[in-house]
């Protein structure tokens, strides 16, 4: 039996359905839509495109396919225009739909295309990566990158349904799967100690992608994200706790060069850095700080910058460019303990640099 997690957002509410080999498109069908576009990337379409299309067609939804080259560089205005062109060629109108079958790249890109095509058409998210299942497919953040930076153009646009089919993970490369686990650990740290302990006690099972365990973990992450998004859809307040580890993580991802370090890998290092700051600034107990690093390490995630030549000055400069930075002063989400986080905290330059030195020594 599939699990269901409700995202309460008034008239924009929807359900996330989590299971194996689940049906896709039932809510799209209820919108009265008959035709649409299924967009995927060049790694995912060959392995999951046919089944997804067949599933949609089996309930009477006519659907054409479009394949975008895999990789973050495709989250671009060029790809966006390709989607609009294809939709127009097919004669899609205001009552048509789009399905995003893919990881966060496809989810963000197709989400933004659906948000803007004919001023907004129905969207279904079918996440295929671990990161997309527990994070990016839920909550409505969509967008594309510009040459000047990541996610600089976008909108909040909620899907009408999210179908999390865990069977799709079977083809996800190991490194991508492990990278997505960093987001899972993040939920444990910011909101749910039981989840943290569940992962800690079952590292092997998690890495083997064990059936029921994985379902339980993914469902819990979706519940946490759904709760946060329901409370603060547009990140005016509490939703910012989801940025735990991101200030440093984004700077590192950028400094190392996008693609060299996957998002979750950079996030893992960012969480270790945030924990270090939290110990200095708000009394996060040392044993809790160490437990986090140990868990990330045991999952195969990095806890220190990969590039041995990385200097504090390089990273500090990248932090200034972060969207959360105001007047060159970076802001952090810090933790007093599991489930108790502080948003928008500034930290002295000395502590920022000291915490970096501690991180480098862990390498």
Ligand X SMILES: NC(=O)c1ccc[n+]([C@@H]2O[C@H](COP(=O)([O-])OP(=O)(O)OC[C@H]3O[C@@H](n4cnc5c(N)ncnc54)[C@H](O)[C@@H]3O)[C@@H](O)[C@H]2O)c1
- Residue 43 in contact with ligand X, rule: CB under 6 A: yes
**Parallel, antiparallel or unpaired: strands 332-337 and 340-345:** antiparallel
In Å, the largest CA–CA distance within the chain is 62
- Residue 315 in contact with ligand X, rule: CB under 6 A: no
Identified binder of ligand X from the candidate list 19, 55, 104, 245, rule CB under 6 A: 104
Give, as ranges, the residues between 221 and 280 that touch ligand X (CB under 6 A): 263
- Closer residue to ligand X, CB minimum distance, 179 or 278: 179
User: Is 243 an annotated catalytic residue?
Assistant: yes
Identified binder of ligand X from the candidate list 56, 131, 221, 334, rule CB under 6 A: 131
Q: Report the SS3 class of residue 299.
A: coil
Give, as ranges, the residues between 150 and 189 that touch ligand X (CB under 6 A): 150-151, 168-169, 171-172, 176
DSSP state string for 237-251: SGGGGGGTTHHHHHH
- Closer residue to ligand X, CB minimum distance, 156 or 280: 156
User: Is 200 an annotated catalytic residue?
Assistant: no
Of 152, 60, 25, 77, nearest to 85 by C-alpha is 77
Identified binder of ligand X from the candidate list 66, 68, 87, 106, rule CB under 6 A: 106
- Residue 105 in contact with ligand X, rule: CB under 6 A: yes
Contact 274, 334 (CB under 8 A): yes
User: Is 43 an annotated catalytic residue?
Assistant: no
Contact 180, 133 (CB under 8 A): yes
Collect all residues with Cβ–Cβ distance below 8 Å to 269 and sequence separation of at least 6.
248, 249, 252, 302, 303, 304, 305, 359
CB of 246 to ligand X, least distance (A): 9
- Distance, in Å, from the CA atom of 122 to the CA atom of 160, rounded to the nearest integer, reads 6
Q: What is the separation of C-alpha 258 from the centre of its chain, rounded to a whole number of angstroms?
A: 16
- Residue 102 in contact with ligand X, rule: CB under 6 A: yes
Residues with active-site annotation? 119, 141, 183, 225, 235, 239, 243, 246, 250, 263
Using CB under 6 A, list all residues that contact ligand X.
41, 43-44, 47, 70, 72, 75, 102-106, 108, 128-129, 131-132, 135-136, 139, 141, 150-151, 168-169, 171-172, 176, 263
């Amino acid at each position: 039996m599939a699990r269901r997690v409700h995202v309460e957002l008034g008239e924009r509410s929807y359900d996330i359905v989590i299971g194996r080999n689940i049906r896709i498109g039932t809510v799209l069908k209820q919108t009265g839509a008959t035709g649409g576009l299924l967009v995927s990337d060049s790694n995912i379409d060959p392995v999951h495109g046919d089944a997804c299309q067949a599933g949609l067609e089996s309930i009477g939804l006519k659907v054409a396919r479009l394949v975008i080259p895999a990789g973050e560089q495709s989250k671009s205005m060029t790809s966006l225009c390709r989607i609009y062109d294809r939709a127009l060629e097919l004669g899609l109108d205001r009552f048509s739909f789009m399905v995003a079958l893919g990881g966060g790249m496809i989810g963000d890109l197709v989400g933004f295309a659906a948000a803007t095509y004919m001023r907004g058409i129905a969207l279904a998210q079918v996440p295929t990566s671990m990161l997309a299942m527990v994070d990016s497919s839920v909550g409505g953040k969509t967008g594309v990158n510009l040459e000047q930076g990541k996610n600089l153009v976008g909108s909040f646009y909620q899907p009408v349904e999210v179908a999390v089919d865990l069977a799709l993970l079977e083809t996800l490369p190991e490194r991508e799967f492990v990278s997505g686990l960093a987001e899972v650990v993040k939920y444990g740290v910011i909101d749910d100690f039981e989840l943290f302990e569940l992962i800690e006690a079952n590292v092997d099972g998690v890495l083997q992608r064990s059936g029921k365990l994985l379902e339980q973990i993914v469902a819990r992450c979706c519940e946490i994200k759904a709760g946060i998004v329901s409370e603060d859809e547009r990140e005016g307040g509490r939703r910012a706790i989801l940025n735990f580890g991101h200030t440093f993580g984004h700077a590192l991802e950028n400094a190392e060069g996008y693609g060299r370090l996957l998002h979750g890998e950079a996030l893992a290092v960012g969480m270790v850095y945030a924990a270090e700051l939290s110990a200095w600034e708000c009394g996060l107990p040392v044993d809790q700080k160490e437990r986090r690093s140990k868990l990330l390490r045991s999952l195969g995630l990095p806890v220190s910058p990969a590039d041995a030549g990385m200097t504090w000055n390089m990273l500090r400069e990248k932090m200034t460019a972060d969207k959360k930075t105001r007047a060159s002063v970076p802001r952090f989400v810090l933790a007093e303990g599991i489930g108790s986080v502080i948003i928008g905290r500034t930290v002295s330059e000395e502590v920022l640099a000291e915490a970096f030195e501690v991180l480098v020594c862990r390498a």
